[in-house]
Amino acid sequence: MANANRKVCTSVPKAGIIGAEQQEVDLLREKLTGVRFFESAGMPFWEGELGGVPVAVARCGVGKVNAAMCVQILADRCGVSAVLNTGSAGGTDSSLGVLDMVVSSDAVFHDVDVRTFGYAQGQVPGTPSPFFVADGAMRRAALQVFAGLDAEFYAALEQEAASVLASGCPQETPPADPHLPLRRLPRMKEGRVASGDLFVSDEGVRAGIVSAFSPACVEMEGAAVAQAACANGLPFLILRNISDLAGNGSGLSYTDFSWWASRISAAVVLRMLGVAESWLPR
C-alpha cells in the first residue's frame, strides 16, 4: 500500500527515529542538542536536533503493538513529518550475510491471515493491500549514504573496537573480534520486510514465510511501523541489520553483533540526516 496521503509538514520538518537497540539509541542521543525528554506508554522519547535537523528519537521495545504506539506518539505529540525505523532482523535472502543491511521496499505482516473473508494473505482488513510501500526518496537517501561507508569507515570502527578492548572500560562491552567488518564489508540491499509477533527460529516457519511473501528479512516491528505511518500520512523507511539467517546461527555472539550493528545503523541515520533536504517533507 503506497502512502497516497503523504503529509505535507506545515511547521518545522522533524524526523521521527525509532531505534530498537539501547546502544544504537544511546549513540544518537549522545549527539542530540537542545534535548527535551519525556516518557509515554512506558517508552522513552528524546526531542532535539541532530546535525541541525529537528528530530524525535524513541526506543519502542519489542513487538507490533509497541511499534504502532510509538509511531502514533511521534505523530501526535512530537509532530514528526517522516519516520525512520532501525533495528535487527533475521535474513531470509540467501545473498545476505551478517551485518548486511536491508532497506525496505515494502513491509508485510507474515502472521495476518484473513483469507476466509476474501482478503489476501497478510492483508489487514480495511487496508487496500498486504504491502505497505516505503518512501522512495528515503530509500534513495539510505542507499546513497550507505555507499559512503567504505573501508576507511570500517577501519575507523576497528580502531574504536581495539581501543575499547585495550581500555577495559567497564561501562562498555567491547566486541570479541575487533576486525569483523573488514573480513567482508557489509552491503545494503533493497527488499521486503516481513513482520510478526514471533521470533522466527524454526526452519519450517521460515520456509513458509519465504514461500508466501519472498521477504529479504523477518522481524517483529517493521510492518506495524509502516501501517501506523501510512495511517498518519507519514513517509517511512525501515532499516534492518542482519543478525542471523532466521533459524540458522551465524556463530557471532549477540554482544558482538549489537556493538557493530548499532554503530553502522547510527552512521546511516546521521548521514541520512545530512541529506535530509532530499527526503524530509517541507
CATH code of 132's domain: 3.40.50.1580
**Catalytic site includes residue 244:** yes
More confident residue, 168 or 130: 130
Instruction: Encode pLDDT of 97-113 as tens digits.
Output: 989 999 999 999 999 99
pLDDT for residue 252 is more than 90:
no
Counting the structural domains of the chain, the total is 1
Q: Is residue 160 part of a domain?
A: no
pLDDT for residue 123 is more than 80:
yes
The model's confidence at residue 6, banded by pLDDT at 50, 70 and 90, is very low
Q: What is the distance between the alpha carbons of residues 16 and 276, in angstroms, rounded to a whole number?
A: 12
More confident residue, 166 or 115: 115
Q: Is residue 1 part of a domain?
A: no
pLDDT for residue 4 is more than 80:
no
Instruction: Encode pLDDT of 180-205 as tens digits.
Output: 766 788 999 999 999 999 988 888 99
pLDDT for the residue numbered 249: 56
- Please pick, among 47, 93, 221, 244, the residue that the annotation labels catalytic: 244
- CB-based contacts of 91: which residues, under 8 Å, 6+ apart? 97, 98, 100, 102, 216, 217, 242, 244, 245, 246
The model's confidence at residue 80, banded by pLDDT at 50, 70 and 90, is very high
Q: What is the distance between the alpha carbons of residues 47 and 38, in angstroms, rounded to a whole number?
A: 9
Coil, helix or strand at residue 163: helix
What is the percentage of the chain residues whose pLDDT exceeds 70? 89
Q: Is residue 178 part of a domain?
A: no
**Catalytic site includes residue 24:** yes
Q: Is residue 176 part of a domain?
A: no
Q: Is residue 101 part of a domain?
A: yes
| 84: containing domain | 15-149+186-272
pLDDT for residue 208 is more than 50:
yes
- Please pick, among 21, 24, 100, 221, the residue that the annotation labels catalytic: 24
Q: What is the distance between the alpha carbons of residues 86 and 108, in angstroms, rounded to a whole number?
A: 16
Would residue 102 be called left, alpha or beta, if left means φ above 0 and alpha means ψ between -120 and 50 degrees?
A: beta
Q: Is residue 159 part of a domain?
A: no
- CB-based contacts of 69: which residues, under 8 Å, 6+ apart? 41, 43, 60
Q: Is residue 227 part of a domain?
A: yes
What is the percentage of the chain residues whose pLDDT exceeds 90? 72
Q: Is residue 191 part of a domain?
A: yes
